[in-house]
Amino acid sequence: MLTVRQVGRALALDAKRVRALIRTGQLVASNVGTVRKPLYRVEAEQLRAFIEATRVVGIEEG
């Protein structure tokens, strides 16, 4: 299980953006905290699935 900070490093995003992806359902996570103070954890497989789902194919680099 990865922390929000670890996921952020892997995606080159800040923790606030990772939490937003989780809240909107774009990134699957488990809340091991409370409703008032969520503490999210992301399984490595869910991170891989997110990366694959958001991968852009066919763009040529100039």
Render pLDDT for 2-52 as a digit per residue (tens, 0 to 9): 999 999 999 999 999 999 999 999 999 999 999 999 999 999 999 999 999
Task: Enter the pTM of the model.
Answer: 0.85
Is residue 56 classed exposed, middle or buried when 0-12, 13-18 and 19+ CB atoms within 10 A define those classes?
Answer: exposed
**pLDDT class for 62, splitting at 50, 70, 90?**
low
Quote the CA–CA distance of 62 and 17 in Å, as a whole number. Answer: 28
Render pLDDT for 40-59 as a digit per residue (tens, 0 to 9): 999 999 999 999 999 988 76
Position 61 scores a pLDDT of 63
User: Within 10 Å of residue 43's Cβ, how many Cβ atoms?
Assistant: 13
- Ranges of each domain in the chain: 2-53
